Structure 1
Amino acid sequence: MPLRGDAGPLQLQAAIIDLDGTMVDTVGDFEAALNAVLGELALPPVDRGFIERTVGKGSEHLIRSTLAQVGADAGLYPQAWALYQQHYRVMNGRHSAVYPGVTEGLRQLTAAGLKLACLTNKPTAFARPLLVAKGLDGFFSVVFGGDAFARKKPDPLPLLRTCEALGSTPARTLMVGDSSNDARAARAAGCPVVLVSYGYNHGEPAEAAGADAVIARLDALDLRSVL
């Protein structure tokens, strides 16, 4: 993957990388935690397909959507939320795996001189331990979860605040994600955006989200394609 343009180093300053569906396949963690919660509430389980279509908008949305999916009373949300926090803390990282090419891709971005941030809608208290468990934490200057700011992706606020933390300008900060949430947030923030093709894009192809490029692996990223 060439990381230099014809006139020398490329002018990106930083990259913001999503977590679930972009760096780590976490559907197994969600499946184990959600179905443990549903079992305690005497509710039927959900399948992986539902989870893949639903994750990415924060834990609150996931829990509410799961209760609706199994036909449960929405009033169970506070109890389900509390149980989910307990179970996910235990399951976090146990049933997940880093996607092929991610570690290599992060090394290449670092070698190109970019500061890296992890920005996810997953709660920060779950994001940080997962990065540690998968050996990815050392790549990132900052890590922000969905509870770090007043609004979550697809709102541009998290990207703008992350750029401030990195000391980079949005136009020179690449967003790498897996869904329309990432693409919409990047466009609104003024960041270039690349999506991976294998993630959780709410059941839609990544190619339909309007990114600057779609890649099959993180280590296949050619930074010239977004500048």
Structure 2
Amino acid sequence: HYLAINGDYTNLYPHVREGLDALQAKGLRLACVTNKPIALAMPLLEKMGLAQYFELVYGGDSLPKKKPDPYPLLKVCDDFDLPPARVVAIGDSSNDAQAARAAGCRVLTVPYGYNHGQSIQEVDSDGIVSTLLDAAHLISA
């Protein structure tokens, strides 16, 4: 049932597409790492018109471990042939920040989305950005 309505009630947060455009314009390679099963994540990204932005998409069941374990982010670093210190994760939850920290990546958080009912201000990150477009302005290739 969920797959049948996946994305029907989903709206993009402000400046998501503009932020992804800006990140790509800087020549940055993008990956999506989610704990959502890949069978739900890919159709949702496609329905929202976002799949085209990501070279890699890892769902929660794509790899042996999922966030907050660092493995998915370390896999992205390996796939992109980048040291973790050159990678910035952008997330909306403590799971994202914990995974990034443990992997040795920088991490920016956004104040919207899913964070287990916890305030994003309580999460250990390198900064809070209002939108992905704001994040794009802070990140350089």
TM class by shorter chain equals: over 0.9
Pairing 1:223–2:138 present: yes
> Would you say the 8 A contact 1:156–1:189 is kept in 2?
yes
Whose RCO is larger (CA < 8 A, sep 6+)?
1
Show CA shifts across 1:48-96 (max 9, x none): xxxxxxxxxxxxxxxxxxxxxxxxxxxxxxxxxxxxxxx1111111111
Offset, 1:166: 2.0
The structure with the greater share of residues assigned to helix is 1
TM-score of the superposed pair, with normalisation by structure 1: 0.59
Structure 2's unaligned 5+ residue stretches are none
Task: Give the corresponding residue for 2:80.
Answer: 166
1:123-162 equivalences under 5 Å are 123-162=37-76
Match of 2:31 among 97, 112, 117: 117
Task: Give the corresponding residue for 1:45.
Answer: none
Pairing 1:186–2:100 present: yes
Identity of aligned residues (%): 50
* DSSP-derived class of the 1:98 partner: coil
Provide the C-alpha distance between the structure 2 equivalents of 1:192 and 1:117, rounded to a whole number of angstroms. 15
List structure 1 segments (4+ residues) > 3 angstroms apart after TM superposition: none
* DSSP-derived class of the 1:211 partner: coil
Provide the C-alpha distance between the structure 2 equivalents of 1:194 and 1:162, rounded to a whole number of angstroms. 17
Query: Which AA in structure 2 matches 1:92?
Result: N
Pairing 1:103–2:17 present: yes
Provide the C-alpha distance between the structure 2 equivalents of 1:162 and 1:88, rounded to a whole number of angstroms. 28
Query: Which AA in structure 1 matches 2:20?
Result: L
Show CA shifts across 1:144-194 (max 9, x none): 100011111000011101111222221101100001000000000000000
Query: Which AA in structure 2 matches 1:196?
Result: V
* DSSP-derived class of the 1:125 partner: helix
> Would you say the 8 A contact 1:141–1:166 is kept in 2?
no
Q: How many residues in Structure 1 have an aligned counterpart in Structure 2?
A: 139
RMSD: 1.3
Query: Which AA in structure 2 matches 1:152?
Result: K
TM-score of the superposed pair, with normalisation by structure 2: 0.94
Pairing 1:208–2:122 present: yes
Provide the C-alpha distance between the structure 2 equivalents of 1:92 and 1:169, rounded to a whole number of angstroms. 35
Q: Which protein shows a greater Rg?
A: 1
* DSSP-derived class of the 1:154 partner: coil
1:50-129 equivalences under 5 Å are 87-129=1-43
Provide the C-alpha distance between the structure 2 equivalents of 1:175 and 1:182, rounded to a whole number of angstroms. 8
